A and B are shown apart, each in its own frame.
Chain A
Amino acid sequence: MRSLLLAVLAAIPIAGLAQPTPYAGKTVTIIVGYKAGGGYDATARLLARHLPKHIPGKPTVIVQNMPGANSMIAANHVYNVAKPDGLTIGTFNRNLPVAQLTRVDGVKYDMTKFAWIGSAASECTILALRTDLPYKSVDELKKAGKPLVIGATGPGANTYDFPLLLKEFLGLNLKIVTGYQSSADIMLAIERKEVDGRAGSFTSIRPFIDRKLVRPVLRARADEPGVEQLPIDEDLAPNPRAKAIMALRSAPEIVGRPYVMHPNTPPELVKVMREAFAKAIEDKALVAEATKASMELNYVGADVAVKVMKEMLSQPKDVVDEFSKYVKFGE
């Protein structure tokens, strides 16, 4: 009996040692490449509230905003300046690989070398048209007599790039009018009948689909609950080159809300973070909060994310050159 008691007492500290808690008493900072209030920031703050209970040691998680240059500043910071101690996480513009691919001046990071945690959501782009227009399918669109006016914010945003590729490769008769301050302004322009439709992330357009202001017609490759029945733009591409370019544009959307750490972060810490993220995104409280805020999170693992990045950045030169003609780095 006494030996049993001794064995149990001896096991307790050993059990404690077996689970190191490198995060105990520490503060983890999530650096967001945008100002407070936007989608990336909202997702980060939601995660910051629920991550601590899933990280052994229950550290504090805070959010720091580092806007600028469509989040290139934040990416450069996490890649070069942040300490590789597992206490700094970065989340930024999903289109950063495009900047790297098209060799934008100022890129000081390599998307394939970051220590990837994964993506907190996929953000599928769809094309939606005002409901009072008679076009319900892509075939009807192709036969449209006069050009459809599509509102956009600017090159580099999905509001602009998605319809541009549809116009160039699928031959849809679209007139893209750009310069709107935000996607909400484009929505207002649709109500005013100034424009006939817009492209954008499914999540942001969904309330207007529910309100029957617009109906979705076409989507990009990324999978998201709710878009399954829509035709995919790539499937309608006339040739393999067009398909490759459309795929290249859509690839970042699979890794819709990227979360990374410094390239030299110790692998055990990266592993802890990956598990914490996966569990936090399933956490009931987080899901409840997210649903209330019309956000939908789903964890895309680091291996998928790195695979997408590597695929994007290893495209042949002629594909990249033609891609660069249409798609520039923007928001």
Chain B
Amino acid sequence: MLEALLEGLVLVLQWKALAFMLLGILLGFWVGLLPGLGGATTLALMLPFVYTMQPVEAFAFLLGMHSVTATTGDITSVLFGVPGEAASAATVIDGYAMAKKGEAGRALGAALASSLVGALVGAVALAAAIPVVRPLVLTFGSPELLMLGLVGIAFIAALSSPGGRGMLRGFLAGALGLFLATIGQDPQAGVARYALGTLYLWQGLDLVPVLVGLFAIPEIIDLVVRGTSIASAAPAGKLSHGAFEGVKDTFRHFWLTIRCSLIGTFIGIMPGMGGAVAQWMAYGHATHSARNAEERRGFGQGDVRGVLGPGAANNSKEGGSLIPTIAFGVPGSTAMAILLGGFYLLGLVPGPDMLSKHLPVTFSMVWTIVIANVVTVIACFALLNKLARLTTVRGSLLIPVILVLVFIGSYTSNNHYGDLVVTLLFGAVGYLMVLAGWPRAPLVLGLVVGKIVENNLYISMARYEAAWLTRPVVLVLIAITVAVIVYPLFQARRRAAAARA
């Protein structure tokens, strides 16, 4: 095992593999930065080029490209409030709020440092999990995946503002998200639900246009209304020294960062959960660390922990989602499904062989993730302060550029103008929600988790009838769900008691 680990490192450090990795990093840097242009689509476009490469070189290129998009996607989220990648949406909430306060540098530093920590944790998990990965994934059947989805929904409680009214709004937003997830052909009877007579809605709402509309458009409207630059509330001179502060924050809240990385890795391992869920659960968990009601209200206004959590999780899930892909040939996310195509193209068969005969190749992938992320973070830090300065540019100069990026990004996934309509529609919805003080995060969470919960509930009932409720892992997850819902209430009561005393 140790020899394979070192052999993997040696394979990656050969100059050809390294060159391809750097090429991939360069590509991934821009793909992550530009909103809507997704890592998954680019992976598919790059696949034909790897046909003539050796496996280690090919994965150095593909993985180098993909693992970087999660890091640079956070940059756009922080600077402009536009999610650079679907997995970077949660970073927008506190990251962009920090940018508005003039702390863009700090937010970027925190996002980058937590991304690095997350990537390393994910890579270590991938390496460490190799002996236990098959029994681990095999234990998590449809009932367990259902419960994981419910745990995700329970995090809505954490994502809502504290207090009765906040919780109610959060749950209603979550319910709306769950409802929106039902749009499309249902997998049990093939009926097209809420397709409104159009072909466009047959397969349901696509996540990217919704996210881009919900988060980016209200911020753009806000920017137009304010008429200033993004960092209007900033005292002068504070920007350039922020990055290092952000890195220090990562270490100040080190255990939170590690915990969120582990959440991301774990969700990444579960096949079918998708990359978008991990970041919201990590954000929800980050809010648990608020020590009093004051701090809890600070989330959403620019608390650095709200950047650390999702920043770590969306990188660690990369290492996590490689695990079922390599060990079972079951992709943990869309991007992994495409990477799987790369496996076949190179003549590798995912499965037990990758964990025994081709173990050095598997470890070379681990090292690729590590090295690619380190290189990217170093490169980003060099550019960081210049990037942060963009937030001082006058809004009227930035808005047209952002708008173009937003609409192109929304259109490129399906080349269908329906996506633009969806973006505008959800832009309006998002703006109204912001005005009325309703949280948007639960809506996204409901949308993302809805299909997972519905399908797995149906399979569990059909296959096991009621017996699935008594499975051991399911019981553990039920306990966690209850804990996630109850904990904020418990915290609030404790704070109220402390305030009275």
How far does the Cβ of B194 sit from chain A's closest Cβ, in whole Å?
14
Cβ contacts under 8 Å, A182 to chain B: 331, 337
A153–B203 Cα distance when bound, in Å, is: 14
Q: Is B338 an interface residue (CB 8 A)?
A: yes
Cβ contacts under 8 Å, A177 to chain B: 459, 462-463
How far does the Cβ of A26 sit from chain B's closest Cβ, in whole Å?
21
Cβ contacts under 8 Å, B228 to chain A: none
Q: Is A194 an interface residue (CB 8 A)?
A: yes
A188 near B197: Cβ-Cβ < 8 Å:
no
Q: How many residues of B contact A (CB 8 A)?
A: 54
How far does the Cβ of A107 sit from chain B's closest Cβ, in whole Å?
10
A188–B187 Cα distance when bound, in Å, is: 18
Cβ contacts under 8 Å, A67 to chain B: 203, 414
Q: Is B227 an interface residue (CB 8 A)?
A: no
B188 near A191: Cβ-Cβ < 8 Å:
no
Cβ contacts under 8 Å, A181 to chain B: 272, 455
B189 near A66: Cβ-Cβ < 8 Å:
no
Cβ contacts under 8 Å, A293 to chain B: 341, 344-345
Given contacts A41-B44, A192-B141, A211-B351, contact A72 B199 (CB under 8 A): yes
A49–B345 Cα distance when bound, in Å, is: 15
Partner of B187, one of A37, A73, A153, A184: A153
Q: How many residues of A contact B (CB 8 A)?
A: 50
Partner of A66, one of B142, B202, B338, B415: B415
Q: Mark A134-164, 1 if CB is under 8 A from B, else 0.
A: 0000000000000001010111100000000
A232–B150 Cα distance when bound, in Å, is: 43
Closest to B134 in A: A191
How far does the Cβ of B45 sit from chain A's closest Cβ, in whole Å?
7
A328–B191 Cα distance when bound, in Å, is: 9
Cβ contacts under 8 Å, A328 to chain B: 190
A-B contact count (CB 8 A): 139
Given contacts A37-B341, A45-B48, A68-B200, contact A194 B455 (CB under 8 A): no
A179–B324 Cα distance when bound, in Å, is: 19
Cβ contacts under 8 Å, A238 to chain B: none
Q: Is B51 an interface residue (CB 8 A)?
A: yes
Q: Is B349 an interface residue (CB 8 A)?
A: yes
Q: Which of A37, A42, A289 has most B Cβ within 10 Å?
A: A37
Closest to B335 in A: A37
Q: Is A265 an interface residue (CB 8 A)?
A: no
A41–B331 Cα distance when bound, in Å, is: 17
Cβ contacts under 8 Å, A41 to chain B: 44
A188 near B271: Cβ-Cβ < 8 Å:
yes
Cβ contacts under 8 Å, A201 to chain B: none
Q: Is B381 an interface residue (CB 8 A)?
A: no
Q: Mark B270-301, 1 if CB is under 8 A from A, else 0.
A: 01100000000000000000000000000000
B338 near A36: Cβ-Cβ < 8 Å:
yes
A188 near B330: Cβ-Cβ < 8 Å:
yes
Cβ contacts under 8 Å, B463 to chain A: 149, 177, 194-195
How far does the Cβ of B237 sit from chain A's closest Cβ, in whole Å?
46
Partner of A178, one of B197, B347, B349, B458: B458
A194–B188 Cα distance when bound, in Å, is: 18
Q: Is B328 an interface residue (CB 8 A)?
A: yes
B347 near A292: Cβ-Cβ < 8 Å:
yes
A328–B190 Cα distance when bound, in Å, is: 7
How far does the Cβ of A126 sit from chain B's closest Cβ, in whole Å?
18
A207–B343 Cα distance when bound, in Å, is: 13
Given contacts A177-B463, A191-B328, A289-B51, contact A185 B188 (CB under 8 A): no
Q: Is A268 an interface residue (CB 8 A)?
A: no
Cβ contacts under 8 Å, B48 to chain A: 45, 49
A185 near B344: Cβ-Cβ < 8 Å:
no
Cβ contacts under 8 Å, A185 to chain B: 271-272, 330
Closest to A153 in B: B187
Q: Is A131 an interface residue (CB 8 A)?
A: no
Q: Is B41 an interface residue (CB 8 A)?
A: yes
B330 near A42: Cβ-Cβ < 8 Å:
no
Cβ contacts under 8 Å, A178 to chain B: 187-188, 458-459, 462
Closest to A151 in B: B459
B349 near A207: Cβ-Cβ < 8 Å:
yes
A320–B329 Cα distance when bound, in Å, is: 38
A289–B345 Cα distance when bound, in Å, is: 8
Cβ contacts under 8 Å, A289 to chain B: 51
Q: Is B137 an interface residue (CB 8 A)?
A: yes
How far does the Cβ of B256 sit from chain A's closest Cβ, in whole Å?
31
Q: Mark B450-487, 1 if CB is under 8 A from A, else 0.
A: 00001110110011000000000000000000000000
Q: Which of A76, A149, A178, A294 has most B Cβ within 10 Å?
A: A178
Closest to A330 in B: B190
Chain A residues in contact with chain B, CB under 8 A?
Answer: 35-37, 41-42, 45, 49, 64-70, 72-73, 76, 105-106, 149, 151, 153-156, 175, 177-182, 184-185, 187-189, 191-192, 194-195, 207, 211, 289, 292-294, 328-330
- Can you identify 19 A-B contacts, CB atoms within 8 angstroms? A35-B44, A35-B414, A37-B338, A45-B47, A68-B202, A68-B418, A69-B199, A69-B202, A73-B199, A155-B187, A177-B463, A178-B187, A184-B329, A187-B329, A188-B138, A188-B328, A192-B138, A192-B141, A211-B349
With A36-B40, A184-B340 given, name 11 new contacts (CB 8 A): A35-B414, A36-B45, A66-B414, A66-B416, A68-B414, A72-B202, A155-B189, A177-B463, A180-B459, A184-B331, A187-B328
Chain B residues in contact with chain A, CB under 8 A?
Answer: 40-41, 43-45, 47-48, 51, 137-138, 141-142, 185-190, 197-200, 202-203, 271-272, 324, 328-331, 334, 337-338, 340-341, 344-347, 349, 351, 413-416, 418, 454-456, 458-459, 462-463
